[in-house]
Amino acid sequence: MKLIRILMLISGLSTLAACGENELLEDYFVKEPRVLAVKIQDPEVKPQDTVTMRMLVGGKDIDQNMTVTVLWAIDDVEPVPLGYSNYTQEFESQISPDTLEEGEWYDLPILARIQVRQKYLNAQKVLRVTQNPVGKNPVISGVRLQYLIGKQLVEKTVANADINALPVNTTNVALTAVTEDLTPEENEKLIFRWFITTSKNTDGKLYIQTDSKHIEAILGKEAKASEIRRSAVFSLQGKDGKKGVQSGIYDLYLVVRDNATDPQSQFDERHGTDFMYFTICINSNC
């Protein structure tokens, strides 16, 4: 049965490709609304601790100041509601006063549900309750934005919710996550995910730059960059770098997780998380 499903999936993908490969976007593009991350402060807590929760929704027309309600619940066979919050606010909840012996723990699957344009979006985040909490969230302190004008390197620091205008006489922009230092016990390694919307006001798309020559020109010799690294470089001139400047307004999202074993995994969600978003404008009025 599993083999049949796999063959059906492959057949379906082949049909899509035949209809038009240009319509398939890389997975770092966010066009339709979707949940990109859920953050719980902290991912490991003691009984009776008070925790706060936030979610990040991305999408071409998503307003981060939208007045939409988020349902928070324990994700059981039937969800057990914990309460509601506005999307722009943190939700606060107290852990039950269970008695745990030394070394004992249990996981709480937390459900976050939001309705955006008649569509329900769900996400799960697992919270660990233990007498000896260790795991902490990584902390994003900002993003370093860099680009070249001629041979001159321009560098800026971007904060959450910032709006940044880029000149049209550059071809690539580099973004590097800046995170606070934590102890090795708290963060064995960090996993980075960059997301970008298609343009909000044009048909523009900023693709991840894969040419090492352009990456090294901004970030330095032997530098690495991709949508799953600390640094990502976006081409302002199309996927092949040969198109005109992709004018428009783009929202970008950075999600950082710690200790995750697989950067693509959607199931390794007990680990600490932080996120931020910001906007860049190219030859457009922000």
Residues 35-71 pLDDT 10s: 999 999 989 999 999 999 999 999 999 999 999 999 9
Model confidence at 9, pLDDT cuts 50, 70, 90, reads very low
pLDDT(1) > 50: no
Is the pLDDT higher at 177 or at 244? 177
Main-chain phi, psi angles of 17, to 5 degrees: -60, -40
pLDDT(204) > 80: yes
Confidence at residue 21, expressed as pLDDT on a 0 to 100 scale: 37
> Is 170 strand, coil or helix?
coil
| Burial label, 164 (beta-carbon count in 10 A; 0-12, 13-18, 19+) | middle
pLDDT(4) > 50: no
pLDDT(145) > 50: yes
Partners of 172 in beta bridges: 235
Round to whole Å and give the CA distance between 255 and 221: 26
Chain position carrying tokens 């939409």: 68
Range 93-108 average pLDDT:
91
- Quote the percentage of the chain above a pLDDT of 90: 71
- The CA-based angle 272-277-283, given to 5 degrees, is 155
- End-to-end Cα spacing for the chain: 51
Confidence at residue 260, expressed as pLDDT on a 0 to 100 scale: 59
C-beta of residue 54 within 8 angstroms of C-beta of residue 42: no
Partners of 64 in beta bridges: none
Consecutive H or E run containing 128: strand 119-130
157-190: pLDDT as tens digits: 999 999 999 998 899 999 999 999 876 555 557 8
For the entire predicted model, the pTM comes to 0.88
